[in-house]
């Protein structure tokens, strides 16, 4: 049943139309003043500018994130701005160093306990030559010539160091082991 307060009128085409419908048509034909149009345009420009600025900011952050990662050759593993290669073959310390040099790398050099733990985690149950050696009666040196100054003890009496899951040990040059290159 219709509300009695609603007025019904006959339109030019002969149809009946309620007062409510006429008000809607009147409201939908509302005119905008030039100042309102200018304000609307300004809001649209500001909104689009914010979207463009956010897009540019995200693109910069994405590029920054991508450049934080070190690009490594296939089969090499990136960690803290370095690349490491864990061999699957075995050979002597000197031959391992020659292999690494063929890739413009050295036997693995680590500069922090964090890097050492990373290498140990990948070493699993194998022994890997690393870039530490010494002449009899001298200090341990890295393959790049710097003196080894870590608190991590190297066990054994050998001249060449190797990494295993429990730490670092040393051996003579004739032992065949896997190796880790770094660059």
Per residue in 5-60, pLDDT (tens digit) is 555 555 555 555 555 555 555 555 667 677 777 877 877 888 777 777 777 666 65
**Distance, CA of 109 to CA of 104 (rounded, Å):** 14
Residue at token pair 């054994």: 156
**Tokens coding 68:** 């934080």
**Tokens coding 49:** 């500018």
For a pLDDT cut of 90, what percent of the chain falls above it?
A: 42
Mind listing the pLDDT tens digit for each residue in 117-176? 899 888 878 999 999 999 888 899 998 889 998 788 999 999 999 999 888 999 998 899
Measured CA angle at 93 (ends 88, 95), to 5 deg? 75
179, containing H or E segment: strand 178-182
For a pLDDT cut of 70, what percent of the chain falls above it?
A: 74
**Distance, CA of 176 to CA of 40 (rounded, Å):** 77
180, containing H or E segment: strand 178-182
Measured CA angle at 103 (ends 98, 104), to 5 deg? 90
Q: How confident is the model at residue 65 (pLDDT cuts 50, 70, 90)?
A: very low
Compute the mean pLDDT over every residue in the chain, rounded to the nearest whole number.
80
Strands 167-171 and 160-164: antiparallel
**Tokens coding 154:** 């190297």
Its CATH architecture, for the domain 84-182, is Roll (3.10)
């Amino acid at each position: 049943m219709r509300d009695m307060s609603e007025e019904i009128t006959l339109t030019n085409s002969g149809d009946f139309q309620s007062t409510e419908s006429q008000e809607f048509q009147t409201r939908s034909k509302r005119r905008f003043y030039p100042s309102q149009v200018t304000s609307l345009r300004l809001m649209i420009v500001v909104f689009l500018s914010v979207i463009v600025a956010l897009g540019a900011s995200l693109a910069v952050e994405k590029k920054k994130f991508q450049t934080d990662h070190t690009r490594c050759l296939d089969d090499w593993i990136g960690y803290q701005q370095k690349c490491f290669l864990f061999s699957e073959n075995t050979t002597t310390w000197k031959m391992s160093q020659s292999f690494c040099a063929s890739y413009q790398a050295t036997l693995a050099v680590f500069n922090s306990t964090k890097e050492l733990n990373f290498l140990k985690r990948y070493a699993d149950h194998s022994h890997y030559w690393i870039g530490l050696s010494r002449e009899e009666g001298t200090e341990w040196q890295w393959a790049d010539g710097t003196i080894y100054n870590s608190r991590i003890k190297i066990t054994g009496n050998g001249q060449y160091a190797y990494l295993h899951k429990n730490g670092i040990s040393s051996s003579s040059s004739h032992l065949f082991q896997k190796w880790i290159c770094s660059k």
